[in-house]
Amino acid sequence: MGGTFTAAAAALVLVMAGLLGAATANIGDKCSTSADCGAGQWCFDCEPELAGSHCVRSAATNPFQLVNNSLPFNKYAYLTTHNSFAIVGEPSHTGIPRITFDNQEDTVTDQLNNGVRALMLDTYDFKGDVWLCHSSGGKCNDFTAFEPALDTFKEIEAFLSANPSEIVTLILEDYVNAPNGLTNVFNASGLQKYWFPVSKMPQNGQDWPLVSDMVTSNQRLLVFTSARSKQVTEGIAYQWNFMVENNYGDDGMDAGECSNRAESAPLNDKTKSLVLMNYFPSVPVKLTACLQHNKGLTDMASTCYSAAGNRWANFIAVDYYKRSEGGGAFQATDLLNGMLLCGCQDVKACQDRV
Ligand SMILES: *[C@@H]1O[C@H](CO)[C@@H](O)[C@H](O)[C@H]1NC(C)=O
Ligand SMILES: *[C@@H]1O[C@H](CO)[C@@H](O)[C@H](O)[C@H]1NC(C)=O
């Protein structure tokens, strides 16, 4: 009896220690599975470091909840996934095995639930529909196609429906030529009802509407296209009328350099109220992404701040957004929100200032 009791008590102590361990796990603690880590963390091995698996961040801080949502949309920073749709292990939807690279590792739904708030999507005419695809020359192929845009748009619709205080931005590299091709898919997905109209976007460097007003009016989907003509034909904002953006690929990762990509006005053109910072290599490399989501990323945030006429980036776009040695792209987003909201290095410091 006594022996049984002791064993049960010992088991209980172990269970409680396990629970406490999980609850108090810190970034950088050793782990063998994500269950060993705390909320908003996962167990990840940044292999080039040869240091084993550690708890690293897997979720963004929500500045609307932590601080407030009463400032203009352009006073916050949003974690952005580059090629959000190009997901490892996405099954072939064409019946033909895919031969192309990937940029992310979890679903768009997971990305949104982890705090990603802007998605970069490449849209193509394909099979009489609009598809998300990796390609060159503006033409999607069976072996480079990921999925119909409708499927992804429905995931975004479900997220906006379930999270009535959140705003999602779509940044489209847009090769769709079919008349109203995108509009049809936005309609069919149910996303149209969240549409933020171009007429409300600031044309000349003014502040954006308040997030709280965007939430109240339920205009919580911002869509930007790379196709200039669609602003007139379909009411989809031409990205570079409203946003400046640095170079992408390897050119965007040169330490100390932050200059505009060809389509964008110079970074310091303040007639555009939003600033987007790309930070991912020309060819995505999963293994080394964790090393890049570190000092190089936050240094670039400072470089782009100066280049943009002392403006912190609103969008920070990365591949494999969850890979890091600790805080990664989430910490970089906290830095941007900290600087934007209260001039602090971390948005968590803004909370206590009132
Ligand atoms: C989208 O839906 C709206 C209203 O539901 C309708 O007025 C509009 O014509 C539709 N657009 C297209 C291209 O189907
Ligand atoms: C919201 O937070 C910002 C940044 O800390 C602050 O300046 C502003 O006064 C706050 N607004 C309200 C209504 O609390």
- Which of ligand 2's atoms lies nearest the C-alpha of 354? 5
Longest alpha-carbon distance in the chain: 81
Asked whether residue 268 carries a pLDDT value surpassing 60, the answer given is yes
Of 150, 191, 192, 233, the one to substitute when testing ligand 1's pocket (max ligand atoms within 8 A of C-beta) is 192
- Indicate the average pLDDT of the chain: 93
pLDDT of residue 70: 97
Ligand nearest to the CA of 190: 1
pLDDT of residue 353: 61
pLDDT of residue 137: 86
Asked whether residue 5 carries a pLDDT value surpassing 70, the answer given is no
Under DSSP, the state recorded for 313 is -
pLDDT of residue 354: 53
Span 253-280, average pLDDT: 98
Ligand 2 centroid, distance to 267 Cα (angstroms): 27
Buried b vs exposed e over 289-313: b needs ≥16 C-beta within 10 Å?
A: bbbbbbeebbebbebbbebbeebbb
Asked whether residue 6 carries a pLDDT value surpassing 80, the answer given is no
pLDDT of residue 330: 98
Nearest-CA neighbor of 318 among 303, 301, 302, 305?
A: 301
Residues 61-99: tens digit of each pLDDT: 999 999 999 999 999 999 999 999 999 999 999 999 999
Span 309-337, average pLDDT: 98
Nearest-CA neighbor of 313 among 353, 352, 274?
A: 274
Under DSSP, the state recorded for 208 is P
DSSP states along 87-132: BTTPPPSSSS---S---BSS-HHHHHHTT--EEEEEEEEETTEEEE
* Position 245, amino acid: E
265 contacts 311 by C-beta, under 8 angstroms: no
Cα 120 to Cα 152: distance, rounded to the nearest angstrom: 12
Return the domain boundaries, the chain. 1-60, 61-353
17-26, 29-38, 136-145, 147-156: segment of lowest average pLDDT: 17-26
pLDDT of residue 59: 98
**CA 345 to chain CA mean position, Å:** 20
Asked whether residue 175 carries a pLDDT value surpassing 70, the answer given is yes
- Helix or strand or coil: residue 148? strand
Radius of gyration (C-alpha) of the chain in whole angstroms: 21
Of 64, 71, 74, the one to substitute when testing ligand 2's pocket (max ligand atoms within 8 A of C-beta) is 71
Minimum CA distance residue for ligand 1 atom 3:
187
Grade residue 32 by pLDDT with cuts at 50, 70 and 90: very high
Who wins on pLDDT, 215 or 6?
A: 215
Cα 134 to Cα 261: distance, rounded to the nearest angstrom: 20
pLDDT of residue 318: 98
Ligand 1 centroid, distance to 179 Cα (angstroms): 13
Asked whether residue 10 carries a pLDDT value surpassing 60, the answer given is no
Beta bridge pairs of residue 210: 72
Residues 217-252: tens digit of each pLDDT: 999 999 999 999 999 999 999 999 999 999 999 999
Asked whether residue 275 carries a pLDDT value surpassing 90, the answer given is yes
CATH architecture for segment(s) 61-353: Alpha-Beta Barrel (3.20)
Residue identified by tokens 């990937």 is 102
Ligand 2 binding pocket (C-beta < 6 A) is: 67-68, 70-71, 341-342, 350
Residue identified by tokens 């008349």 is 179
Cα 239 to Cα 229: distance, rounded to the nearest angstrom: 11
25 contacts 48 by C-beta, under 8 angstroms: no
Cα 19 to Cα 32: distance, rounded to the nearest angstrom: 15
